Chain A
Amino acid sequence: MSDGWRQHLYHALLWLVALFFFSPVAWIILSSFKTADDILAVPPKLFFEPTLENYVALFERNAFLQQLTNSIVLSVCAVLIAVTVSFLAAFCFSRFKPRGTDFLMFLLLSIRMLPATAVILPVFLMYVAFGWKNEPIGIVLFYAMFSIPFSVWILKGFIDGVSPRFDETALVNGASYWHVIFRVILPQVRPGLIAAFIFNLIFVWNEAVFNFIIGGIDTHNIPVALWTGAYADGGVDWAFIATMTSVYLIPPVIFIYFFQKYLLVGMTFGTVRGEV
């Protein structure tokens, strides 16, 4: 009996911790249904009359729909490119093992060790010189470039886990490398591809600094809009922040809810692949 009692306590504790970490999100979502006055009321109002005013106002903003579209298009395109390129690169690293593979892999990842502020100025100057500023393609390529190193790392781990004997069986039976990559390897590393996809999506989805600096009106995504629109009419526009954030939360929440098991796979570099 005491075991059951401990278990209940344990579960209660887990719920408590989870709710604690969820409370800012809850505050945002609740605030989006409050009037501007209710949001800042002291003491905070837990019971209030919900209103959709904020949402109506949000969707009436000129740029909102374009910014939402930008967010979706930029992240999906960038991540698709990144995952495709990374998959092919990871295959080559894993199978052909060029001299110095380990060092190359380290070099590749080192780009993620740089703080963004260290590279933002040169990147900005480069984009201006190329005429890529405010070009969606330019932003997509930048995000893809930034996403590739980590994806190569994840995917190389997964492809290393697929025995080269599978490739050999295909090759002996007359398959091309194209066939080996897409028909033999790909179906076996699908969890890795999805994990890489999610990880990069989270990064690109929330990226604001580069978009703000090297992008422009045509490329601004929701994080940039939040950043630039937060301060309005001589104060912080909490209703706007809460509403836009609530809408912005929906796609990743749905996506991650359905693919969360792959997230675990990605974090552990495929070591728990067997459970998926």
Chain B
Amino acid sequence: MKRIGFFALLMGVLMSFTNPTGYKVGDKATDFKLKSVDNKMYSMADYKDAKGFIVVFTCNHCPYAVKYEDRIIDLATRYKSKGYVLLAINSNDPAAQPEDSFELMQKRAKEKKFTFPYLFDEGQKIYPQYGATKTPHVFLLDKNLVVKYIGAIDDNVEDASQVKEKYLENAIAALEKGQEPTPNTTKAIGCSIKVKK
């Protein structure tokens, strides 16, 4: 027992050294089991037939996340029929950001009629594994949970009608063709994930 504990500790130490910033494209993502606004638990393993997963770290309060809210709803609907499952995760600690409490997530999901799970990262265990730092922050996984794309949804937060490059949709299109997305990582401004100090 002691030995297992030691190994777990050693693994933890090694992980923290080898994986300081979370996943990179090509890494295999861990599955999670998180509670959604409907009070049910969701895992990627539940979706046996999924061709891939769009994991979006988002939240209620962040103006950047709010700007992308309608686009996230639209993506979830359009790609569901193509076999891609969108899972939204709120990783903010409500103690640091009261607008992002589970109850207010439920309220927001109802108001906006979310058709996808809106999961609460209770205890903030998932976002560090992924290396999510901000909202919104997207991770596109293939059906084997291998990370294929990390970054922004598109290149224009302020105006959906002025988007020139649909990074995420282009990445999914590449996956559909059996190709690697280019670019496979993009950067955008966002709200930092809130941790209580």
Partners in one complex: no
